[in-house]
């Protein structure tokens, strides 16, 4: 699966430009909006057992809400990416490399500790 | 630009599997981790003026941190997508459609109000 | 137990004034800082089982971190309260009243649904 | 001003017990709910200029929302405090002491840097 990022970015840009909303989208404000959308995802799961959260795909009403929140998160993440000029694919690959060093397999295997707690 | 999602998902999966971390990655827990990473992005901007946040690309130290946080957010968003089986591209396009109806251009142009405040 | 709010507010104000930090503390920025501190609390529990989180008081290292984060959250909450002139005790009592109406006992007893899902 | 914490805790406990909601209130879940309420406060300010956020007390509609969110944040913070047995006043005073050491006046006066960036 590839995602046609050019198409998605085009749709996102069009939505924003049609409403003249770029004036509100400072990177600072976008970081706030992004965290608000994440919390709307958290809200879905705040009283839910972990096991039930893993079966969310089989609950049509809830998975619909999850889809909407995931989409909103992606929307604002793409806005941050565009406003800062970050190369997303490169940034992700480089961060995974960094994390491989911070979390060596032999120290972190099966352990959920933070790297500074080893 | 397209993003090779298959490649990124492969790298993410490998990182998680090598460390046997999937056991911690309930959808509930992933939503928490995602919101924590978003807050690390917010932290960069919490005392920064909006104008300065828009120029973050020209500040090498800060843009490096922004890249890392954006990558971490994408990482956990992809984990949620994989665990829930969401079709990300479709979800984003459908949500933009919904938002076009919630925020009609004539009511929302140049206005940052929430749809339920019109 | 009462909390001597005047004393706590005095300590908080002194800390901020000594560092000339009030200039950074717009209500907008304080809301960001407050959410960042909450996420640092969430981070402690993101991979932890619910049962273990309930026993956190008996884990000296972790409860120490929880105390620090709870204190940071209270610090910024008090800053928001001071900058907006909110009467905290009154606000809490009024909100509980509102919630009693939104969540009537007979509809919400033992059920974690949101009021708009009844 | 003192806050009658015993009274507030009593009202909060009664609200929760009447609805049999303590079963949902693991410390983990409460940390999630607390961060969700903080984001609802952030949402009020996400597109607002800092100056306007500082004048929020003179906007009756918006200050009403701020009050509600501040109350919700306090509600869940008190739940965390009760479930973990933390002495809130002591925790806040101790944390301010720690921060006085992390942020010496001479290094941090008028500067919004994080302590590890000095």
Query: Could you read off the pLDDT of C61-75 as tens digits, one per residue?
Result: 999 999 999 999 999
Smallest Cα distance from B6 to chain A, Å: 5
Average of per-residue pLDDT values in chain D: 96
**pLDDT given at position D108:** 95
| Secondary structure class of C29 (helix, strand, coil) | helix
Let me know if residue B86 belongs to a domain.
Answer: yes
Asked if A28 and B45 come within 8 Å (Cβ–Cβ), the reply is yes
- Say which of C29, C35, C45 has its CB closest to residue B39: C35
The parent domain of residue A76 ranges over: 22-86
Instruction: Give the three-class secondary structure for A3.
Output: strand
What is the C-alpha to C-alpha distance for residues A95 and B68, in angstroms, rounded to an integer? Answer: 6
Strand locations in B4-117 (E): none
Q: Which CATH number does the domain housing residue B71 bear? A: 1.10.287.1080
> Does D2 score more than 80 pLDDT?
no
> Is residue A98 included in any domain, yes or no?
no
CA distance B2 to chain D (A): 30
Res B45 pLDDT > 80: yes
Residue identified by tokens 């709307």 is A40
The pLDDT of residue A1 is: 64
Give the pLDDT band of residue D4 (cuts 50, 70, 90). Answer: confident
Q: Tell whether the model's pLDDT for residue B1 goes beyond 80.
A: no
* A69: region left, alpha or beta (phi > 0 left; psi from -120 to 50 alpha): alpha
Distances (CA, A) of B6 to A72, B70, D70: 22, 19, 43
Inside any domain, residue B59: yes
Could you give the C-alpha distances from C108 to A59, B31, C103, in angstroms and in order?
Answer: 21, 25, 6
pLDDT at A5 over 90: no
- Helical ranges in chain D per DSSP H: 5-18, 27-45, 50-54, 60-84, 88-102, 105-108
What pLDDT does residue C1 have? 64
Binary contact (C46, B39; C-beta < 8 A) = no
| Record: contact D109-C20, CB cut-off 8 A | yes
Is A100 domain-assigned?
no
Residue pair D108/C19 in contact (Cβ under 8 Å)? The answer is yes
Question: 3-state SS of chain A: helix, strand, coil percent to 5?
Answer: 75, 0, 20
Position D117 confidence tier, pLDDT thresholds 50, 70, 90: confident
Q: Which residues pair with B21 in a beta bridge?
A: none
| pLDDT tier, A4 (very low <50, low <70, confident <90, very high otherwise) | confident
Q: What is the pLDDT of residues A55-99, one digit of tens each?
A: 999 999 999 999 999 999 999 999 999 999 999 999 999 999 999
Reference A57, options B91, D26, D88, C72; nearest CA is B91
Chain D residues touching residue A45 (CB < 8 angstroms) = 32
Question: pTM above the 0.95 mark?
Answer: yes
Looking at the complex, does the CB of residue D63 fall below 8 Å from at least one CB of chain C?
Answer: yes
pLDDT for position C117: 86
Cβ–Cβ gap A71/B91 under 8 Å: yes
The angle subtended at Cα C49 by Cα C48 and Cα C53, nearest 5°, is 75
Nearest by CB: B36 against C24, C33, C46 = C46
Q: Does D6 fall in a domain? A: no
Q: Is residue D49 part of a domain?
A: yes
At C108 the pLDDT is 95
Number of domains composing chain C: 1
ipTM confidence score: 0.97
The single residue listed with the structure tokens 């899902």 is C117
Give me B109's structure tokens: 């142009």
Distance CA(D79)–CA(D98), nearest Å, equals 24
The yes-or-no verdict on residue A2 having pLDDT over 90 is no
* Residue in chain C lying closest to D46 (CA): C28
Residue B104 maps to a domain: yes
The pLDDT of B77-95, averaged and rounded, is 97
What are the two backbone dihedrals, phi and then psi, of residue D55, each rounded to the nearest 5 degrees?
-105, 20
Q: Distance of CA C30 to CAs A105, C115, D6, D42, D68, Å?
A: 39, 29, 27, 9, 16
Give the pLDDT score at B118: 82
The DSSP bridge partners found for residue A3 are B3
Rounded Cα–Cα distance for residues B53 and B55 (Å)? 5
Residues of chain C with confidence (pLDDT) below 70: 1
Residue to mutate among B29, B33, B36, B39, with most D CBs inside 10 A, is B39
Q: Is residue B85 included in any domain, yes or no?
A: yes
pLDDT band at D1 (very low <50, low <70, confident <90, very high): low
- Residue B17 forms contact with A (CB below 8 Å): no
CA distance B39 to chain C (A): 5
Instruction: State pLDDT tens for residues D36-78.
Output: 999 999 999 999 999 999 999 999 999 999 999 999 999 999 9
pLDDT class for D5, splitting at 50, 70, 90? confident
- Nearest Cα of chain B lies from the Cα of D6 at a distance, in angstroms, of 31
């Amino acid at each position: 699966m590839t995602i046609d990022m050019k198409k998605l970015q085009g749709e996102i840009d069009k939505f924003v430009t049609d409403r003249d909303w770029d004036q509100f989208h400072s990177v600072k404000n976008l970081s706030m909006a992004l965290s608000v959308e994440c919390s709307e995802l958290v809200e879905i799961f705040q009283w839910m057992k972990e096991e039930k959260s893993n079966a969310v795909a089989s609950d049509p009403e809830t998975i619909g809400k999850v889809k909407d929140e995931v989409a909103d998160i992606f929307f604002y993440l793409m806005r941050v990416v565009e406003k800062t000029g970050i190369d997303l694919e490169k940034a992700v690959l480089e961060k995974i490399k960094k994390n491989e060093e911070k979390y060596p397999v032999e120290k972190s295997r099966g352990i959920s500790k933070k790297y500074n707690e080893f």
